[in-house]
Copies of this chain bind each other. A is one copy, B any other.
Amino acid sequence: MSSAVVNLVCRECGRTYPISPTHVCEFCFGPLEVAYDYEQIAARVTRERIQSGPPTLWRYGELLPIERDEARIDLGAGFTPLVPAPRLAAELGLGELYLKNDTVNPTGSFKDRVVAVALSKAREFGMRVASCASTGNLANSVAAHAARAGMEAYVFIPANLERVKVLATAVYGANIVAIDGTYDDVNRLCAEIVSERGDWGFANVNLRPFYSEGSKTLGFEVVEQLGWRYPDHVVVPVASGSQLTRIHRGFEELALAGLMPEPPSVRVSGAQAQGCSPVAQAFEAGRSLVRPVRPSTVAKSLAIGNPADGSYAVDVARATGGAIGAVSDDEILEAIALVARTEGIFVETAGGVTVATLAKLASQGIVRPDETVVAYLSGNGLKTVEAIEQTVDTGTVIRPSIDAFWSLLGAQAR
């Protein structure tokens, strides 16, 4: 098929670049983004065609930057359930609430979306090594997708990461390089390495323009799953800010591609942990400039102190009438239990950030009961199980006798 992918464009100055593994404008240092020919897409893509596609993000292949179908790496990422959440809505005083359950992706987080796209593109570029700077979920996903594609993997992580995320990377045979420092130190090091090893595909560095595109599918799917209807308000976790801005872009592209008759008017809100809330702070202060912070929060997967797309996230929230909130570690842990006991979904700490922020914005009247609301649950609770060790009741040990059980039940009833 002829591809609708045109080139890379600098988000700041508009300079164009050919499609290649590069991510920063040489002139203004702005981030590069993929540009498409939407007329060509609109001539080809229909709702029916999407609906008869695979139950993965590849159903939206026409709106993604992979030019040859055979380059696609398919572990089954995407097209995750959009779950109605009436019991959680009742607790929060909301009306029509849905949870986008990205905990059931192949490696348990939304990162499978961005990695599927980034590493497929790496394959198209003929790269043999997959790499990334990661707070954990990205490492899991790069390792898994690289294994599936038969690529070698080098993943760079902060040394203090949750043990589960390290083991769930190592099992795929990836080479793990643990850095004695923060995520931001890891990220800087990877930027240095890529300047010398441009033949390595760093998902979120030299492949970043393609990587980011994967998150658009979180916007596409929600609209399709609502019966080709935009939600009124979405709440998205913010680490680098890329997920939030790309979900918004996904909504816009559905109109550009002729799949929706009108442009969206979706309010886009963001969620951060108070222990790492540079984007929420900028929003609160009424500025776009995001001042870096040193993270300290239980939500390690969101602990990016110097977020690449932070100021764009602020702009999107402001332009759409959303907000960016921040919540404490205690609120995060309470929210994990809340969404588990009301809706049966076990989220990692980042999901706790999203649900706690949703609760806060609802109590402030910013998320409203007359809105169709979608909260994005980006990762699986099994990955940060240690975080809830102190907050849940793991029960009582008894002898295997019915008398022992009735005694226990009687004691509970009293």
- Measured CB to CB, the nearest residue on chain B to A140 is B346
A362 within 8 A of B: no
Residues of chain B with a CB closer than 8 A to A166's CB? 394-395
Q: Is A398 a contact partner of B107 (Cβ separation < 8 A)?
A: no
* 3 closest cross-chain pairs (CB), A and B: A176-B395, A148-B344, A76-B81
Q: Is B189 a contact partner of A405 (Cβ separation < 8 A)?
A: yes
Among the stretches A201-209, A267-275, A280-288, A377-385, the one at the interface with B is A377-385
When chains A and B are docked, how far (Å) is the Cα of A185 from the Cα of B107? 34
Residues of chain B with a CB closer than 8 A to A178's CB? 394-398
Q: Is B402 a contact partner of A189 (Cβ separation < 8 A)?
A: yes
Among the stretches A9-17, A167-175, A294-302, A314-322, the one at the interface with B is A167-175
Which one of B104, B172, B399 contacts A340 once the chains associate, using CB atoms below 8 Å?
B172
Residues of chain B with a CB closer than 8 A to A164's CB? 382, 385
13 pairs across A/B with beta carbons < 8 Å? A76-B83, A87-B148, A108-B380, A164-B385, A167-B392, A168-B381, A170-B393, A171-B337, A171-B381, A178-B394, A179-B400, A196-B402, A382-B383
- Measured CB to CB, the nearest residue on chain B to A402 is B192
Q: Is B188 a contact partner of A144 (Cβ separation < 8 A)?
A: no
- Measured CB to CB, the nearest residue on chain B to A167 is B385
Q: Is B106 a contact partner of A345 (Cβ separation < 8 A)?
A: yes
When chains A and B are docked, how far (Å) is the Cα of A150 from the Cα of B196? 56
When chains A and B are docked, how far (Å) is the Cα of A159 from the Cα of B343? 27
The bracket for how many chain A residues form the interface is: 35 or more
When chains A and B are docked, how far (Å) is the Cα of A148 from the Cα of B340? 8
Q: Is A394 a contact partner of B337 (Cβ separation < 8 A)?
A: no
A101 within 8 A of B: yes
Which residue numbers of A lie inside 8 Å of B, CB to CB? 55-56, 74-76, 79-81, 83, 87, 101, 103-108, 143-148, 150, 159, 163-164, 166-168, 170-173, 175-181, 185-186, 188-189, 192-193, 196, 336-337, 340-346, 380-383, 385, 388-389, 392-402, 405, 408, 412
Which one of B76, B81, B341, B345 contacts A56 once the chains associate, using CB atoms below 8 Å?
B81
Using A188-B400, A345-B106, A400-B188 as known contacts, say yes or no to A170 and B395 having CB atoms under 8 A apart. Answer: yes
When chains A and B are docked, how far (Å) is the Cα of A392 from the Cα of B385? 20
Residues of chain B with a CB closer than 8 A to A148's CB? 87, 343-344
Closest chain-B Cβ to A75's Cβ sits at a distance in Å of 5
When chains A and B are docked, how far (Å) is the Cα of A382 from the Cα of B385? 10
When chains A and B are docked, how far (Å) is the Cα of A101 from the Cα of B412? 40
- Measured CB to CB, the nearest residue on chain B to A389 is B167
Which one of B186, B382, B393, B397 contacts A180 once the chains associate, using CB atoms below 8 Å?
B397
Q: Is B394 a contact partner of A193 (Cβ separation < 8 A)?
A: no
Q: Is A401 a contact partner of B167 (Cβ separation < 8 A)?
A: no
Residues of chain B with a CB closer than 8 A to A80's CB? 76
Closest chain-B Cβ to A137's Cβ sits at a distance in Å of 12
Using A76-B81, A383-B382, A408-B177 as known contacts, say yes or no to A346 and B396 having CB atoms under 8 A apart. Answer: no
Which of the listed residues A144, A337, A344 has the most CB atoms from chain B within 10 Å of its own CB? A344
**Known A164-B382, A167-B385, A171-B340; 6 more pairs at CB < 8 Å:** A75-B344, A76-B101, A106-B345, A171-B346, A179-B399, A186-B400
Q: Is B106 a contact partner of A394 (Cβ separation < 8 A)?
A: no
